[in-house]
Amino acid sequence: MRLHWPVLTVCLLCALPLVASAAEFYTPPVISVPRVETVPTIDGQLGAEEWSGAAVFSTLVSLGRNEQPSLPTTVYAVYDAAALYIGAQMHDPHPQQLRAEADQRDGEVWGDDCLELFIDTVGQRHSYAHLVVNPLGTQYDATNEDASEDFRWEAQTAVVDTGWTVEIALPFANNISPRPGDTWIMNVARHAVGAEELSSWARVKEWFHEPENFGTLIFGVRPFRVTIDDPGALWLGDNVAWLSVKPLTEIEEEESQQWDIKLNVRVMGRDEAGHYFGSVKQSLGSEVTQVAVPYTVKQDGLSTVTFSLTDHEGVVRWRSGPYPVPAPPVSVALQEGETALGEALLAWAQLPAGEEKQVYDHQLNDLLAGWDYLNQRYQRREEMTPAELQSLLTQAKLIKHRTELTLAEMAESQE
């Protein structure tokens, strides 16, 4: 008998804790929007100065994919006594190929390249206004999916060298401005036809009409402009993200302590062992402050990384959507291979002595040696590229498959 079990890094006999995984855990994004005296001119042209004091929505995330969109979208927001103003830049390297066929209000605007807004001013996450605009400036509006109602809103667009832009004014009902601290439930989404991409500020699972997953827009209380300059490698091991933060209201000297913030990062892994939470304290001045935020991705498989800002009272004033880290799940494949090898070992032990048993002895030893080699390589996973880790996953699945075939052959030989 030559079978020897290699030293394993994971004990499969231990019960896994019932905790939220990256696929299950989700906290909607948050943005705090400043009130301004001078508002942008709604002409479709995103003037740098007119949006310089705006809050910026965090990066949109892909619908139905564990990856970032290939075409980025930048969305700005400010408000005054009359309206909420949204500006957006939809980057596209081929603006001449944009699809913009709907030219009648409430036509199939959503089938074109378009920007979509979902707004629930009541906060019940049930009924919401759905507004869509394409590069022609054609508007669609509905309550949920009922397009019979028209809302009062203005949208102007422009096609530019880098894609297309839109500026939107959303007048407040009855000309009553929200009070500081009031909130709307909201989402911003984009359809990029050429890239076949659907992306969204909030993480939605199957389609954009998921109000339970929409984010929160806060009016006027300690608004910040937060941009993720670099989210880090978004890969296994230690990472460092760089975020820029700027208060969007004047800082009085006697109130300087109110601008002490925390930038937080949460990593959700496959189970509790893969979770990570960290924070960096920072005192802000009136200008932009760039902050390094370290974090660790501990597990392969799908993890998500989410950043947030809390003010001196511990209130969340900004939160990003989840950045996916879809590392190939080699550890799971190795565990499954270990289980299959264990079952094969037990079946081998029950075979009668003889030449056939020796043949299976050689086969299983080869499979165990292969499994041990992959397990040793897996210990250096943080040094591997995604392609190298994917190759390791393919080999681990192959060992499991060959083990299952050997197990089936041993079972047939005893019938």
Alpha-carbon distance of 140 to 127, in angstroms, equals 17
Amino acid at 159: V
CA dihedral (63, 65, 69, 70) positive or negative = negative
DSSP string for residues in 265-284? EEEE-SSGGG-EEEEEEEE-
Class of domain 35-219: mainly beta
Alpha-carbon distance of 2 to 357, in angstroms, equals 11
Percent of residues, the chain, with pLDDT higher than 90:
78
Alpha-carbon distance of 51 to 78, in angstroms, equals 8
Using one digit for the tens of pLDDT, what is the confidence trace for 292-318?
A: 999 999 999 999 999 999 999 999 999
Alpha-carbon distance of 292 to 59, in angstroms, equals 18
Kindly tell me if the per-residue pLDDT of 11 is higher than 50.
no
Alpha-carbon distance of 191 to 386, in angstroms, equals 28
Using one digit for the tens of pLDDT, what is the confidence trace for 212-241?
A: 999 999 999 889 999 999 999 999 999 999
CA distances from 103 to 114, 195, 288 (A): 13, 22, 42
Q: What is the Cα 385 distance to its own chain's centre?
A: 21
Using one digit for the tens of pLDDT, what is the confidence trace for 340-370?
A: 999 999 999 999 998 889 999 999 999 999 9
Determine the pLDDT at residue 345. 94
Alpha-carbon distance of 261 to 309, in angstroms, equals 7
Which pairing describes strands 183-192 and 114-120: parallel, antiparallel, or unpaired? antiparallel
Mean of the per-residue pLDDT values of the chain: 90
Using one digit for the tens of pLDDT, what is the confidence trace for 238-271?
A: 999 999 999 998 765 546 666 899 999 999 998 8
Q: How many degrees, rounded to 5, is the angle at CA 83 between CA 39 and CA 50?
A: 15
Find out whether 40 and 167 touch, Cβ atoms under 8 Å.
yes
Q: Which residues, including other chains, have CB under 8 Å from residue 61's CB and lie 6 or more apart?
A: 68, 69, 199, 200, 201, 203, 321, 322, 323, 324
Indicate the CATH number for domain 18-27+220-326.
2.60.40.2550
- Mean pLDDT score, 34-39: 94
Instruction: Give the max Cα distance, the chain.
Output: 91
Q: Which residues, including other chains, have CB under 8 Å from residue 206's CB and lie 6 or more apart?
A: 63, 64
- Measure CA of the first residue to CA of the last residue in the chain; give whole Å: 23
- Looking at 350-385, list the stretches that DSSP marks H as alpha helix, in order from N- to C-terminal side: 355-378
What is the residue extent of each domain of the chain?
18-27+220-326, 35-219, 330-413
